[in-house]
Amino acid sequence: MTDCFEKLLELLGGICDLRAAEALLDWDQQVCLPAAAAEGRARQLAAISGVIHERSTSAALGRLLDQLEASCFADDSFEAALVRRCRMNFEKSRRVPAKLVAATALTTGEAHGAWLKAREANDYAILAPHLAKIIELKREYAALFKVKHPYDALLDNYEPGMTTAELKRVFTPLCREQTKLIKAAALPAGEPEPDFMVADYSSSKQLRISEMVVRAMRYDFTRGRMDLTEHPFTTTLGPDDVRITTAVDRKLPVSCLLSTMHECGHALYEQGIDPICFHTPLADGASFGFHESQSRLWENQIGRSTAFWRWLYPYFKKAFPRQLSGVSQKRFLRTINSVRRTFVRTEADEATYNLHIMVRYELEVALFDGKIEAADLVTEWNRRMKKYLGIVPPDDRQGVLQDIHWPLGDFGYFPTYALGNLLAAQIFDAAKKAMPQLERSIARGEFAPLVDFLRENIHQYGARYTGTELLKHLTGSSRIDINPYLEYLRKNYLPNA
């Protein structure tokens, strides 16, 4: 290994350590920060983001990349992959003024506290001025890049190479077919839930079951931890510190479980990356869509499956004997997988979930087209909920205030959830072909075969390969295909189709 490459690793290691410190500040902000400390935390995040930006765009880094690009690394080598990734990040970062980076960090830090207050008061007006500032900053950011649509610049931060035009190609038929499916499969509006679905389920018992499941999924608690937060997330503070968070609702018996499985899917990806990638930008997912494919696969293809509940239901019923008295496993599973038009994305069934994403995706595109402003979001949100799901949120908390992404400035993130659903179906099909006995293993609570498959084919590579390259390796095609996902939904929700 050349001296030049050693210098690159040293420089990148320092940047990664700073990013870990930034992530820890963010984790603390979302998990246990005192309410009065929000303004101070925003300043701290702005300060550290400025230092990271300065080092990520330094002339020294640029010179190292210039020298290393002339080296004779094999195209499929770790060294070549790292230089390519660093060049991509460097060219993108150097376009962005340091003042814009600091202003964005400060504004989003303040917006997080405003979002918490707005949710508590059930009043979007508290968040609106903060969101207006964030949107303006993101428009300023998008204008720095030569793209066909301003939204493309934001998408690229989460799904490199993805464009608004390509999303339209994928989402238009997907939305059309899922809308048809919901009309055929959804329960009538207003149909009450069975009594056992609105009973009181102990928070501590829900958490114990969730922890049991993620341990079975091989989440390594010696390299991570699980905490409670308002909006669940996963964060990586280092190769041996990958943390998950979850939330509990006593009136939603599987919400905590599925949310925890979702976040554990992210964490397994991070914990499974080849150590050679540690302390470099390659210690990451191939894309956010691929990362979401891992979380959605565990949450849905596993967590909502008959095989999974053959294993878990006896434990679940033992924990909640009064609530589930006389409720068979078959009835329980049919109920938690029923198709209902609901207000909250994170509680949506998998048949309606992508339509929740369409609401957000359309609003984001309209914001960066300049067709709507932050002040219009409640009206426009409710209009699209009516269009896609036939329901209108009764209040802001169940509507435009439900997600943390926009206060964090994560415009362009939401489409990756839908892309993750599509990728999860393609990946799970590949896993079943490779392991004909997979469902039997799941029914015994043995998840090691699936974890090993994902580690071998996806996790270990981190960001060494693009999402397109990984998809081709797994399926033989580099294009996202909506059909495996639609077939999966039809099989589960239209058994006579």
Q: What is the pLDDT of residues 359-402, one digit of tens each?
A: 999 999 999 999 999 999 999 999 999 999 999 999 999 999 99
This prediction has a pTM of 0.94
473-483 per-residue burial string, b: 16 or more CB within 10 A, e: under 16: ebbeeeebbbe
> pLDDT at position 1, please?
55
Q: Which residues of the chain have pLDDT under 50?
A: none
Q: Which of these is catalytic: 22, 110, 159, 263?
A: 263
- 3-class state of residue 75 by DSSP: coil
A 10 A CB-CB count for 209 gives 22
- Token pair recorded at residue 127: 């968040």
Catalytic, 263? Answer yes
List domains and CATH numbers for the chain: 3-146 (no CATH), 164-493 (1.10.1370.30)
> pLDDT at position 479, please?
86
Q: How far apart are CA 169 and CA 229, in angstroms?
A: 36
SS (H, E, C) the chain: CCHHHHHHHHHHHHHHHHHHHHHHHHHHHHHCCCHHHHHHHHHHHHHHHHHHHHHHCCHHHHHHHHHHCCCCCCCCCHHHHHHHHHHHHHHHHHCCCHHHHHHHHHHHHHHHHHHHHHHHHCCHHHCHHHHHHHHHHHHHHHCCCCCCCHHHHHHCCCCCCCCHHHHHHHHHHHHHHHHHHHHHHCCCCCCCCCHHHCCCCCHHHHHHHHHHHHHHCCCCHHHCCEEECCCCCEEEEECCEEEEEECCCCCCCCHHHHHHHHHHHHHHHHHCCCHHHCCCCCCCCCCHHHHHHHHHHHHHHHCCCHHHHHHHHHHHHHHCCCCCCCCCHHHHHHHHCCCCCCCCHHHCCCCCHHHHHHHHHHHHHHHHHCCCCHHHHHHHHHHHHHHHHCCCCCCCCCCCCCCCCCCCCCCCCCHHHHHHHHHHHHHHHHHHHHCCCHHHHHHCCCCHHHHHHHHHHCHHHCCCCCHHHHHHHHHCCCCCCCHHHHHHHHHHHCCCC
**What does each C-alpha distance from 339 to 36, 306, 419 come to in angstroms?**
41, 16, 21
> pLDDT at position 190, please?
75
SS (H, E, C) 389-405: HCCCCCCCCCCCCCCCC
Q: How far apart are CA 400 and CA 136, in angstroms?
A: 18
Q: How far apart are CA 192 and CA 204, in angstroms?
A: 26
Q: How far apart are CA 231 and CA 229, in angstroms?
A: 6
Q: Are strands 234-238 and 241-246 parallel, antiparallel or unpaired?
A: antiparallel
Q: In angstroms, how far is CA 327 from the centroid of its own chain?
A: 33
